[in-house]
Structure 1
Amino acid sequence: MEWPALYFTTQLPETGQVILNCTHNPFLVLLAYVVACATGFATLDITERIGHAEKAASQRLWRWVGAGCLAGGIWAMHFVSMLAFQAPIEIHYQLPVTLISLLFALTASWLAMHTLSHPHLTFWKTLRAAVWIGLGIATMHYVGMAAMRSYATAYYNPALFALSIVIAIGASLAALLISRHLCEGSGVVHQLLKYTASLVLGAGIVSMHFTGMAALNLVLPIDSPQPLPDDNTHLQLGLTVAVMTLLIIGSSISAALADKKLQHKESDLKRVNILLSQLDQARLSLQQVAHYDALTNLINRRGFNQIFAEKLLEKTNEGGMLAVMFLDIDHFKRINDSLGHDAGDELLKVLASHIKDSVRSHDDVVARFGGDEFCILIGLHDLEEARSMAQRIMLKMKEPVELSGRSMVMTTSIGISVFPQDGMTCEELLKNADLALYQSKGCGRNGLHFFSPHMKNRATLELQLEEELRYALRNDAGLILYYQPIYDLKSGQVTKLEALIRWQHPVHGLLAPDRFIAIAEANGLINELDNWVLHKACEDLGVLSRQGREELKIAVNCSPLNLAREELADEIENALRIAGVSPQRLELEVTENALMGNLANTLALLKQIRSLGVSLSIDDFGTGYSSLAYLKRLPLNTLKIDRSFIQDIPKATQDMEIVHAIIIMAHTLHLQVVSEGVETPEQHDFLERQGCDLVQGHLLSRPVPLAELPAVLAEINQRKHSRSVSSLSLATVQLH
């Protein structure tokens, strides 16, 4: 292989013939530009593909594919452009040198793709790489020029030669910058930018080549022969090279697109797998939330019902017993009210741990239903197992708990139902355990009760009574007031009547208040019931006035729950206004414990009621926990001694002393004293001797409806007259 002489800085010889009429085949030039543009587009596309490749091996593969496309494209453009060169002499190309130029193109292309693979590339690093890439392309060009063989000697214009190198470096820098800019993005605009950049890069590559060709001058010696060029196949060869190159470039672009789609599918598949994994985690989280209590991490009601149904089916098929335990923490509301809900939550965590530690194994299910309600499901061989576990839980609960700097001792009430004797379904067993719990709470709490059928009967009856009581209040049907006279020992007259409600039930007959007042209080009916009594009593006062009994007052009882309502004073005023009676003829009786429940609010309400002119009486005195300090602050008129202190007089000396002390204390506070439950003349006489102001009881009269009241009052007054006459006769006999 012989290298031809190349003159880059030597001036043209004076003796020689300069060939000036060299031309280029326009079709091949255009074809070379198409190859250059396709090369630029492939470079941009494969660069983008390298940036999106996730695996290092894939990035290396696409770097080599990109380097091959870029090198092949640049070299093919150069080769086609050389074939487009036409001179009036015979020209051919040496194959080894041409292949060496391809090696330089591959080196420069690999350097370009390697540079574009860096994630963080500064401008100066890019410029340095562009210099080397441009020099490599220029070297490829001029080595390719060296492969040209003819009788002429090649001389190069130094300025154009230098300019071609500068253009090569500039085109390389532009290619690097554009590729870095377009490696990210998508959409139609992004594709148009890539097409435009490909045209620009193609123009830059072609410009470098034809600038180098413009620097070429072919010189023939004077005496050398000038054979005309033969008919050659440059056009065919150039077309063949261009088509093959375009096919290779197109295949590379198609492979890149196919790999891109495949990667997108893999990415989509990964995203789907991630989403499925997230959905599984979300499902598990939802299942945790749906079936477990967030505070105690115990199973909640939904999870308990699911396990309960499974175990119930198992026991139904295989035989055996199950016990359902309902637990309620006694007076837990006081903790929330006094220490706050955060302290209450901490206490619930500790108590839940106590309950969990008290069960036997993982087969026993412990659940929190909400608030301070817990439920336990256990398998049994006999009832004593359930009793033993309940007692173990109650004992564990009594262990002191440190909370907010205090040592708390809590108790629990437990209700138990047993499968199959107390029910065959989840709902029935849970309901019966709840009834047993209600029984435990009603018996003073801190105890356990098994379900028994009478509980269900009583609950059914109470539910029925509740519905019927609502109907009675809504339709004013069946409710009536009875009145018990209150006798003034000093005046010898009945001056007051206590209004006592009765319910004439269509099935159960006449019901006393103790049969339905608790139902009304438990179901939110007590306010409506008290209001009915108030209006009815005021209405009956109007009736008594028309009968000539304007001196009589009526005392009505007020529920402790109703006493907590600020609207009570307005309701009393409204009832008096509707009935058209004087407020001084109405007396409101409140229990001792109701007064002490919330003294500040109660005191304000009582003063408001007292300002209306309504009298106030403290009922059942001696059974509560009021003190003399509290009593003197209350705007009371009357104090009623509870019947429990009267019923054993005169046999109970201690009760007589207590009654004597109460009367003295009440008179000291300027209160009238009424004694309830007076049933014997001895009790009457004792109270009269002690200075009691008023008495009421069966000795005088049982409670009677309003229609029977005139006859009862007349009888009481007649009894008093007869007793006075007897006393006078006895005194006359003694005088004589």
Structure 2
Amino acid sequence: MLRKSKASAFSGSRPGQPSGRLSVLLLVRQHTDLLWIRNLLAGQEEMRLYWCNSVPMMMDVMRRRQYDMVLWEEHLFESDQASFLRMIAEYAQAPVIALGSSRDESHVRKIIMKGASDYLCKNELTPGLLIRTIRRARYRELARSGSQLREQMDSLTGILDRNLFYDRLHQAMLRAQRGNKQVGLLFLNIDHFRTVNQALGYKSGDLLIKMVAARVRQVLRQCDGLARVGGDEFAVILEDVEEEFSLSAVADKLIEVFSKPFQVSHRDVELNISMGLASYPEEGRSVDVLLQHANQAMFDAKKEPGSTYRFFDEARNRDLKRRLELEADLRQAIRGNQLEVYYQPKIEVSSGRIIGMEALVRWPHPKFGMLAPQTFIPMAEQSSLIIPMGYWVLQQTCRDLAELQQRGFDQLQCSVNLSFRQFHDRKLSETVFRIIYNAEIDTTGFEFELTESAVMYDREYTVKCLKELAHMGVSFALDDFGTGYSSFSNLRSLPISSVKIDKSFIERLPASSQDQTLVAGMISLAHNLSMQVVAEGVETPEQLEFLRRHHCDFAQGYLIARPMTFTEFSDFLVHGRVVTSEARPSAG
């Protein structure tokens, strides 16, 4: 990844946004092309390169952030290039430079007519040519978008005004209609702002409005639209809403950030907000109807005390109430140490020897009993709770591992999952260090399991973070390998010592000849790269025997043992039978 410069040669920011490095999204299929482009841009410290090698991955990362420039290899998605370029323009709202092998002028003109900003022949590409083309396209985009936006921005806050907001909402609904997607609309009103304005004075009131706009913006993705639609009213457009929880997650974050007072004219000013939520197409198929329903939901929210929000749909409000209650229970469970860590043993396939375990969180709810992970983990991931919950699991696991090491089980390796959000928590390294240091464990027996999406999203951060954690002595495994975006070649430069083959590849063994070939190939490739292999979801003796024949290193699954409490796992270590492909062990 390209490093940050002390003084950027040009800004990578959008008009009205803070300056920073130019974010360049590279759409190429082959890892060798990524390395080639990275080498061409070496030394350009004002640029930061991101890579996608498939259309689904591209759609996913474009929902996460906005990019300043797109480099597109024209053979990726050849079937309908015009539609593909329109899709990139709508999602990325950035110039697209096509990369290809043709020198034919008519072909180049066709690509540009379809929507590309420029075309570069790969056989003639040099560092200077690529850098000049990127800069030229960026300057043109800044000049074009800057002049348009200045005329349509709210003069006080610098965000969208009412007219531009209506247009953006209409365009978002058209895109959602074509892609069979949802659009979320959030109306936000500052409660009793007139009283606050009179008390502070109108000059300070204007300053407060600007501060409110800035605080709302910090919660949103760069691709979301924010507008001031009234004196004390704001509206937010959220594209690609998959379910109502995505809307409520934003509303929850807004309530959280508005819980802190504003400092205006040396005074602390506390504000409550009321929000109404509606989504296209369920609550409105036209701009006017959707606006009306979001506005009605906002007025329903104003009937409640404090900062709150309501959906237009009453059934959603009931679901929201249940989810908020469960979320509050989970928050209390984390604070009150009411969660539990279960452990699923891992064995060495060749010998059946127990070599370690994976830590898994469980929640014995006081009212609903033991809740399945799929009930509360997605909810935690959609809120901010996944991070404190992850650290709680890490802390408890370290305590348990320390006890096992003191009892002589010092050769065990314990694996803990890091979610996407926790891995990208900027306080991860220092928090992990504090927990491990306080637990006084031998870190050579500790491993983090990471998903492919987490490690491949921002390579610069990944390299830095893994290096810091590796210095503490922990190791890393790639979880659910084969289901994500990356390949072995992408992982060679990362300090990953093992991969876990996803259970979806194991469950059809040995009946599926296709899965036999895939699993055998994964094991062989991993070994050639000096990585060990763990098979997940092993449930039959035949599966275990197949893994043994193909020299898989480790396995876990119900054939070996189900997840169990720490006490049960301790007993299992002492009394568990040696595992063979002919016999399923007991946990007793």
Which TM-score applies when normalising by structure 2?
A: 0.51
Unaligned segments of structure 2, at least 5 residues: 1-15, 17-60, 70-93, 95-137, 153-159, 174-184, 189-212, 214-223, 230-278, 304-308
Q: Secondary structure at the match of 2:557?
A: coil
- Paired with 2:582 and 2:513, the residues of 1 have a C-alpha distance of 30
Identify the residue that residue 418 of structure 2 maps to in structure 1: 558
Query: Does 2:276 align with 1:416?
Result: no
Equivalence map 1:635-714=2 (5 Å)? 635-714=495-574
- Residue 553 of structure 1 aligns with an amino acid whose one-letter code is Q
| Deviation (angstroms), 1:368 | 7.9
Equivalence map 1:420-569=2 (5 Å)? 427-428=299-300, 451=313, 453=315, 455-476=316-337, 478-569=338-429
Q: Secondary structure at the match of 2:577?
A: helix
- Paired with 2:434 and 2:401, the residues of 1 have a C-alpha distance of 15
The 1:701–1:457 alpha-carbon spacing in structure 2 relative to 1, beyond 3 Å, is farther
- Residue 427 of structure 1 aligns with an amino acid whose one-letter code is F
Q: Secondary structure at the match of 1:588?
A: strand
- Residue 283 of structure 2 aligns with an amino acid whose one-letter code is I
The 1:609–1:352 alpha-carbon spacing in structure 2 relative to 1, beyond 3 Å, is same
| Deviation (angstroms), 1:518 | 2.5
Unaligned segments of structure 1, at least 5 residues: 1-294, 296-329, 360-365, 377-411, 437-449, 725-736
Identity %: 33
Conserved? CA contact 1:566–1:605, under 8 Å: no
The 1:715–1:414 alpha-carbon spacing in structure 2 relative to 1, beyond 3 Å, is farther
| Deviation (angstroms), 1:356 | 5.7
Conserved? CA contact 1:534–1:556, under 8 Å: yes
- Paired with 1:666 and 1:681, the residues of 2 have a C-alpha distance of 23
Identify the residue that residue 395 of structure 1 maps to in structure 2: none
- Paired with 1:518 and 1:415, the residues of 2 have a C-alpha distance of 23
- Residue 595 of structure 1 aligns with an amino acid whose one-letter code is V
Identify the residue that residue 221 of structure 1 maps to in structure 2: none
| Deviation (angstroms), 1:464 | 1.1
Higher relative helix content: 1
In the comparison of the two structures, how many residue pairs are matched?
Answer: 339
Q: Secondary structure at the match of 1:704?
A: coil
- Paired with 2:497 and 2:490, the residues of 1 have a C-alpha distance of 14
Query: Does 2:506 align with 1:634?
Result: no
Alignment equivalent of 2:470, drawn from 587, 610, 635: 610
Equivalence map 1:229-268=2 (5 Å)? none
What CA deviation, in whole Å up to 9, does each residue of 1:196-252 have, x standing for no partner?
Answer: xxxxxxxxxxxxxxxxxxxxxxxxxxxxxxxxxxxxxxxxxxxxxxxxxxxxxxxxx
The 1:331–1:604 alpha-carbon spacing in structure 2 relative to 1, beyond 3 Å, is closer
Equivalence map 1:270-289=2 (5 Å)? none
Conserved? CA contact 1:484–1:497, under 8 Å: yes
- Residue 372 of structure 1 aligns with an amino acid whose one-letter code is G
What CA deviation, in whole Å up to 9, does each residue of 1:71-107 have, x standing for no partner?
Answer: xxxxxxxxxxxxxxxxxxxxxxxxxxxxxxxxxxxxx
The 1:337–1:704 alpha-carbon spacing in structure 2 relative to 1, beyond 3 Å, is farther
Q: Secondary structure at the match of 1:711?
A: helix
What CA deviation, in whole Å up to 9, does each residue of 1:662-694 have, x standing for no partner?
Answer: 101110110110000011111111111111000
Conserved? CA contact 1:422–1:451, under 8 Å: no
- Paired with 1:571 and 1:354, the residues of 2 have a C-alpha distance of 41
Alignment equivalent of 2:439, drawn from 571, 574, 579: 579
Identify the residue that residue 130 of structure 2 maps to in structure 1: none
The 1:607–1:456 alpha-carbon spacing in structure 2 relative to 1, beyond 3 Å, is same
| Deviation (angstroms), 1:421 | 12
- Paired with 1:519 and 1:357, the residues of 2 have a C-alpha distance of 30
- Residue 480 of structure 1 aligns with an amino acid whose one-letter code is E
The 1:473–1:653 alpha-carbon spacing in structure 2 relative to 1, beyond 3 Å, is same
Q: Secondary structure at the match of 1:416?
A: coil
What CA deviation, in whole Å up to 9, does each residue of 1:518-541 have, x standing for no partner?
Answer: 322332222211111111111001
Q: Secondary structure at the match of 2:283?
A: strand
Alignment equivalent of 1:372, drawn from 220, 225, 230: 225
| Deviation (angstroms), 1:490 | 2.5
- Paired with 2:280 and 2:462, the residues of 1 have a C-alpha distance of 31
Larger Rg computed on CA atoms: 1
The 1:499–1:350 alpha-carbon spacing in structure 2 relative to 1, beyond 3 Å, is same
- Residue 353 of structure 1 aligns with an amino acid whose one-letter code is D
Conserved? CA contact 2:506–2:536, under 8 Å: yes
| Deviation (angstroms), 1:579 | 1.4
The 1:684–1:474 alpha-carbon spacing in structure 2 relative to 1, beyond 3 Å, is same
- Paired with 1:683 and 1:357, the residues of 2 have a C-alpha distance of 52
The 1:423–1:333 alpha-carbon spacing in structure 2 relative to 1, beyond 3 Å, is closer
Identify the residue that residue 167 of structure 2 maps to in structure 1: 353
- Residue 455 of structure 2 aligns with an amino acid whose one-letter code is L
Q: Secondary structure at the match of 2:508?
A: coil
RMSD: 4.0
- Paired with 1:489 and 1:667, the residues of 2 have a C-alpha distance of 15
Conserved? CA contact 1:591–1:619, under 8 Å: yes
What CA deviation, in whole Å up to 9, does each residue of 1:613-648 have, x standing for no partner?
Answer: 111111011111112331101101110001111111
What CA deviation, in whole Å up to 9, does each residue of 1:320-357 have, x standing for no partner?
Answer: xxxxxxxxxx9576446665997598597778437569
Conserved? CA contact 1:666–1:672, under 8 Å: yes
- Paired with 1:642 and 1:353, the residues of 2 have a C-alpha distance of 45
Conserved? CA contact 1:482–1:706, under 8 Å: yes
Identify the residue that residue 594 of structure 1 maps to in structure 2: 454
Conserved? CA contact 1:486–1:496, under 8 Å: yes
| Deviation (angstroms), 1:651 | 2.2
Identify the residue that residue 248 of structure 1 maps to in structure 2: none
- Paired with 1:593 and 1:456, the residues of 2 have a C-alpha distance of 32
Conserved? CA contact 1:584–1:614, under 8 Å: yes
What CA deviation, in whole Å up to 9, does each residue of 1:581-631 have, x standing for no partner?
Answer: 101011111111100010111011112211221111110111111123311
